[in-house]
Amino acid sequence: MWSFEKLTEWIDTSLRSCMSADGALLVEFVLIGIAILVGYALLALFLIYAERKICAFFQCRLGPNRVGKWGIFQSVADMIKILLKELIQINKSDKMLFRLASFFVIIGSVCTFGAIPFAKGLQAIDFNVGVFYILAISSLGVVGILLAGWSSNSKYSMIGAMRSGAQLISYEISAGLSLMVIVVYSGTMQLSEIVAQQADGWFIFKGHVPAFIAFVTYLIAGHAETNRGPFDMAEAESELTAGYHTEYSGIQFGFFYLAEYLNLFIIAAVASTMFLGGWQPLHIPGWDGFNHVMDYIPSFLWFFVKTCFCMFMAMWVRWSFPRLRIDQLLGLEWKILMPICLINLILMSVVVIL
């Protein structure tokens, strides 16, 4: 019932009525770009505040409680502070690559963010190979991290970047194979079509055992790709100071900081889109009255509730388990997760054939 298709069509019709088709398209590109950047920044501020509060809850603390009621403006104050920080020049560093690295990380994150269907009719771009696009464009972050470590002229940054590169490249395999399980089951890579097929039941429920296994393996691999505990070997403070972004300051460090939190949101958003129905409400076959009531809840609310659930699970894991060693981290991927994902993909293929 809650669709943004009429709103977007009205904006498109209004623009084309008062200017040329090319001009209307240019204005729409600008509006979409502004909306993505504003949404990106607001989500980052919300997630920083939310994690501080959730971390405080797990550790029996209060968390931010000074700037604004319940400390809700603490993230805004930190944002203002980081914008005013001096950008420190590192001696003997590769200045061009040093500056470019943070942009690679943020561009990969923003481009992935734009392909996510937030609600019915609320999606910046809908490729027919949407899953492939997300897997490909999110890999840009690895390039930025390796450039940051190489260009910083610091052994701590270099070791952190090499660890992170090995970790991200390894766990991308399991994450991709987990998503391929749903691609095999749905028969399409288009995200809007995958969401539409879950109108009568989310894939985690109707996709049989392989879909549930894929959901669990994707959450583990996705959590490792965000470089968050217990998989934060690239930023191990006791060994590497801060890892690949040790030498960064000011807004350049802020880009890495923002990308980490938005990557958490993107991993959770993709999980909710592929496995939990995206913006589709909860429907139970035969329960017509219940299904009708569920339809009254806005589609964007369904999407954000599911995504917040996945993000809460990631935060819970981060503040509950100790950091792994690098050999344990890579062993978990190559010896356990990847074989499970390969067997699970074959199992889903058999299910689809039968």
Q: How many domains does the chain have?
A: 1
Q: What is the pTM of this model?
A: 0.90
Is 221 within the bounds of a domain?
Answer: yes
Provide the residue range defining the domain that includes 313: 91-353
Is 271 within the bounds of a domain?
Answer: yes
Is 194 within the bounds of a domain?
Answer: yes
Is 188 within the bounds of a domain?
Answer: yes
Q: What is the mean pLDDT, run by run of 10 residues, along the chain of 354 residues?
A: 79 87 88 88 90 90 88 89 83 83 86 88 86 89 86 84 86 93 94 90 90 94 85 70 78 85 92 92 84 86 93 90 85 93 95 92
Output the pLDDT for position 221. Answer: 93
Q: What is the 3-state secondary structure (H, E, C) of the chain?
A: CCECHHHHHHHHHHHHHHCCHHHHHHHHHHHHHHHHHHHHHHHHHHHHHHHHHHHHHHCCCCCCCCCCHHHCCHHHHHHHHHHHCCCCCCCCCCHHHHHHHHHHHHHHHHHHHCCCCCEECECCCCCCCHHHHHHHHCCHHHHHHHHHHHHCCCHHHHHHHHHHHHHHHHHHHHHHHHHHHHHHHHCCCCHHHHHHCCCCCCHHHHCHHHHHHHHHHHHHHHHHHCCCCCCCHHHCHHHHCCHHHCCCCHHHHHHHHHHHHHHHHHHHHHHHHHCCCCCCCCCCCCCHHHHHHHHCCCHHHHHHHHHHHHHHHHHHHHCCCCCCCHHHHHHHHHHHHHHHHHHHHHHHHHHHHC
Is 275 within the bounds of a domain?
Answer: yes
Is 308 within the bounds of a domain?
Answer: yes
Is 44 within the bounds of a domain?
Answer: no
Is 274 within the bounds of a domain?
Answer: yes
